[in-house]
Amino acid sequence: MAEEFEKLLTSDTNTDLAALKHSMRTQWIMLTIAMTILATFIGYYGFIDHRNITDQERHRLKTQAGVITLNMEQQLEATDRAMISVVNDIAYLRKHEDLKLTNRRLQALTDAMPGVRTMMVLDSAGIVAASNRDELIGKDFSSRDDYTTPVEDNDASTLYVSPPFETVLGTYAINVSRIIPSETGKIYGIVSATLDPQYFKVLLTSVLYAPDMLSTIIHGDGIRFMMVPDSEGQAGRDLTQFGTFFSRHLKSGKRENVLIGTSPSYSSERVIALHTVEPKQLQLDKPLYVACSRDNSTIHKEWRNNTLKQVVTFAIISIVAIFGLVLLQRRQKELALHSAQAHELINLRLGLMELVITNDMHALLRQAVDNICRLSASPLGFFYFVETDQKTLSLQAWSSNTLNGADDERFQIGQESKWADCIRQRRPVVYKAGDLLEGKNGLPAGHGPILREMVVPVFRGNAAVAFLVICNKADGYSDQDIDFANRLADILWEITERKQLEMSLRESKQLLADIFDFLPDATFVVDQEKKVIAWNRAMEELSSIPKEEMLGQDDHAYSILLDNQLFDLIDADDDAINSGFQGVTRCGERLSGETFCPGLNNGKGGHVWAVVAPLYDYDGRRTGAIQSIRDITAIKETEINLARSNSELEQFAYVASHDLQEPLRKIAGFTELLASRYKGTLDAKADSYMEYIVDGATRMRTLINDLLSYSRIMRSKRELAETPCSVVITKVLRDMELVLKENDAEVICGPLPVIKIDPSQIGQLFQNLIGNALKYRTAAAPRITINAARQRNHWLFSVADNGIGIAPEYYERIFAIFQRLHTRAEYPGTGIGLAVCQKIVERHGGKIWVESVPDSGSTFFFTMPATPHDREMIS
């Protein structure tokens, strides 16, 4: 991972990683500083502790040495006073020659002084004259130091202290002595006392407070008197040699010293407190010295232990901190690596997405495989599709650096192959050279040697859809590589799917373009800026402008053809809507209407019918509009001609029926007169002829009247008025009350609206339909149902009956003028009723038709335009 991390660091895109490396370095510096501070604290407090322990120990040793010194000084002073009293009394005792008394006196003194073992009085020849110990009396001690030194010095104010000497018991003792002056100025002798070594031993032992402590008393000559705890050869030892603590004490000239160091007397370094014993009231010929010492290393044993513990703790903390930081940084690196890889994946995905549009599938996949090889540090890469049979692989692309084979080779997956293995495991598998099954590796001929390869299956649902194979990464494939390759393979498949989608989208775009081109109506599309984005072939023909010239042009370009654009009216309100177009109708957002375009038909101009609708995208945002234009110039002309001939026909029908009435009335009148006057006077034949003439004339009059009323419908100038249809129906039913009763008819009328109508014409319409329902009834009582229902922009009326019904082939014919399905003998009538109904409905802008089931009944439907302000239905 470290190398990959370093590799990523070298990439100039990874500034985040460079920052991470910097921060990691900072973390190490911080840790080092923290550890250094901690170490300094430990060292400093260790040092202070050490010093305190040393100081404390020096102080204690000094105190203990002081205690011994004070004790000894008191002991010497007491002994001295006892000896002075003996000296003072000696003249008296001698005079009375009562040495026995002297002995007792000495006995009493030694008993009283615990530190004095023996007291003696020696005469001038050095013979024991008196002693607390009888066995010593008479003994010659003239050669002993405690005798010779005072006698030679002969100073009555000095207390003489002898060097330590070995007693008969093998211990060392010290004698102190004073001269006993005689009246002659010579000396009588000396009084001496032997200091009890046991007493001093107890004294020295009492100050010991540690097993390694030693306390000692040294004579002024440098001879050790005693040392406790007792150790072989120490008592009586000469300490005057160079380097001993004693010689250093003497040299210092001070009464008290605390020294640290080594000495020939000790094997290890010691701390020693030395005091000079010199009682103030007393003049000694030689001082005594007291020393208390401890082994320096033992003093600091506990400190050393503590320090060792602290150092170990520090070491553990350091190791944990270092190890923790190493782990933390490894995690940071992992995260950074993941994030860098995610970054790479995003870049790869975006880069490939761009290529989806411009590259074909093969080029796209090769680019993708090359990129994946680069990112996974694999020199070779292959990408396969798994066919839907799940048995066949087809090689789609392989890395271009080793490309000398052909894409699109096919392989069988096989049961024992690595492909089947990967599908079974449902995860990427890394194979080494030895694992690769020869002949089953599915690689095309011509590829380089494979050392190791990672086979990555891509699944969608339960099916394997593709395989990515990457090979020969120099240092092998780690778990992270596997994870990364998995994601790369997924992207690759996503790109593939995107490309496939893109391809089908082309195809569908092409289909749409073909359909658009095929449309017979001239059609074009504009975007939101009114720029032309589509212009079909019919439009090219209508405008004589090729598509290439119009695409991208704005509304100025197509306004030359159509100065009024329905586009502009899409969002216009109803008042503005009829500005340039005639009879613009709106159906939802769709507008249609007619206009005249002077630019059409090579400048001759032409009528067009246009329809326009806005266009939206998936999110419902307006993207533009589509407009179709139909050249209706020819239709328009036909319509005009038709209208003209209709009008002429109506005129003719009116004039004819009107003008024919007069001669017809004459014919009918005179024929009736003739018949009434001459009936029975001529023969029977003449009578029947006259009946035919009267009947024909009557019938002609009916026809002409019907024709006249028919032509009047269209000539009527009456304005439409908002009228409740229920009022109209009520009036009709009232007028027909008699005939309805005669027929025993039932009329059921549902709620009817209030709409703009010519009430008398609509009344006639209903009357005709109800009349027919009664006329074409069956044996059953007529039942007529009238209803109205709102449908988008019109009302749908229905008049249903239960009569004889009409066969479907007559549905249209019955509305033609004078067309009948029955003879007059069967059903009276002229065949004008439904023609009148149709005219009335058309005049109101509606349509009329019939639906019927013969022998069950007929339903006549007609529509009436709805107005925006239709009032509520009135029942």
Q: Which residues bind ligand ADP (CB under 6 A)?
A: 772-773, 776, 801, 803-804, 806, 814, 820-822, 829-835, 858
Side-chain-facing half-sphere of 576: CA atoms under 13 Å: 10
Number of alpha helices (DSSP H) and beta strands (DSSP E) in the chain: 20, 31
Q: Which is nearer to ligand ADP, 606 or 831 (CB)?
A: 831
Residue number with the smallest Cβ distance to ligand ADP: 829
Task: Give the shortest CB-818-to-ligand ADP separation in angstroms.
Answer: 8
Give whichever of 581 and 815 is closer to ligand ADP, judged by the CB atom.
Answer: 815
Q: Which is nearer to ligand ADP, 292 or 773 (CB)?
A: 773
Give the nearer residue to ligand ADP in terms of CB position, either 498 or 820: 820
Instruction: Return the number of the residue (431 or 766) whose C-beta is nearest ligand ADP.
Output: 766
Least Å distance, CB 822 to ligand ADP, is: 5
Of 196, 178, 240, give the one whose Cα is nearest residue 72. 196
Shortest CB 709 distance to ligand ADP, Å? 13
Dihedral pair phi/psi, residue 750, rounded to 5°: -80, 180
Q: Which residues contact 782 (CB under 8 A, 6 or more apart)?
A: 743, 744, 745, 746, 773, 774, 801, 802, 803
Nearer Cβ to ligand ADP (535/862): 862
Joined tokens for residue 617: 């995208």
Burial of 480 (0-12, 13-18, 19+ CB in 10 A): middle
Quick check: 815 and 764 in contact, CB under 8 A?
Answer: no
Query: Which of residues 235 and 770 has its CB atom nearest to ligand ADP in the complex?
Result: 770
What CA–CA distance (Å, rounded) separates 238 from 839? 162
Minimum CB distance to ligand ADP, residue 793 (Å): 28
CB of residue 635 to ligand ADP, shortest distance in Å: 30
Minimum separation from the CB atom of position 816 to ligand ADP (A): 8
d(CA 569, CA 261): 116
Residues 6+ apart with CB under 8 A from 363: 355
Q: Which is nearer to ligand ADP, 276 or 858 (CB)?
A: 858
Residue 666 C-beta: closest distance to ligand ADP, Å:
26
Between CA 48 and CA 55, with CA 53 as vertex, the angle to 5 degrees is 95
β strands within 632-724, DSSP E: 721-724
- Can you spell out the DSSP letters for 410-467? EEE--SSSHHHHHHHHTS-EEEEGGGS-TT-S-PPTT----SEEEEEEEEETTEEEEE
- List Cβ neighbours of 710 (8 Å cut-off, separation of 6 or more): 653, 817, 832, 835, 836, 839
Please, which residue, 538 or 848, has the CB nearer to ligand ADP? 848
Residue 354: partners with Cβ closer than 8 Å, 6 or more residues away:
none
Closest to ligand ADP by CB, 82 or 773? 773
Residue 644 or 847: the one with the smaller Cβ distance to ligand ADP is 847
Q: Quick one: 414 or 829, whose CB is closer to ligand ADP?
A: 829
CB of 806 vs ligand ADP, minimal distance in Å: 5
State the minimum distance, in angstroms, from the CB of residue 756 to ligand ADP. Answer: 26
φ/ψ of 70, rounded to 5, equals -60, -45
> Residue 787 in 3-state DSSP?
strand
Residue (559 or 743) nearer to ligand ADP, CB: 743
Nearer to ligand ADP, 279 or 803 (CB): 803
CB 173 within 8 A of CB 146: no
Q: How far is the CB of 553 from ligand ADP (least distance, A)?
A: 57
The CA-atom distances, in angstroms, between 490 and each of 130, 459, 483, 485 are: 124, 9, 11, 8
Nearer to ligand ADP, 102 or 711 (CB): 711
Each residue of 632-652: b (16+ CB within 10 Å) or e?
bbeebeeeeeeeeeeeeebee
Give least dist CB 668 to ligand ADP, A: 21
What are the φ/ψ torsions at residue 753 (nearest 5 degrees)?
-85, 175
Distant-in-sequence, close-in-space partners of 609: CB < 8 Å, separation ≥ 6:
592, 593, 594, 629, 630, 632
Token pair of 288 as six digits: 């005594």
Long-range contacts of 817-820 (CB under 8 A, 24+ apart): 817/707, 817/710, 818/703
Token look-up 């090689």 returns 395
Residue 337's closest CA among 223, 484, 436, 455? 484
Which residue in 472, 442, 447 sits closest to 457, CA to CA? 442
If the CB atoms of residues 235 and 806 are measured against ligand ADP, the closer one turns out to be 806
Is the CB of residue 833 less than 8 Å from the CB of residue 772? Answer: yes
Least separation in angstroms between residue 726's CB and ligand ADP is 22
Task: Classify residue 11 by its DSSP letter.
Answer: S
For residue 565, the minimal CB distance to ligand ADP (Å) is 46
Instruction: Provide the minimum distance between the beta carbon of 831 and ligand ADP in the complex, in angstroms, as a whole number.
Output: 4
- In angstroms, give the least distance from the CB of 836 to ligand ADP: 8
> Residue 787's beta-bridge partner residues?
798
Closer of 417 and 772 to ligand ADP (Cβ): 772
d(CA 63, CA 730): 142
Token pair belonging to 180: 């006993």
Q: Positive or negative, the Cα torsion across 560, 565, 568, 572?
A: positive
- Write down the least CB distance from residue 563 to ligand ADP, Å: 48
Minimum gap (Å) between residue 803 Cβ and ligand ADP: 4
Q: Between residues 218 and 832, which has the closer beta carbon with respect to ligand ADP? A: 832
CB of 715: closest distance to ligand ADP in angstroms? 20
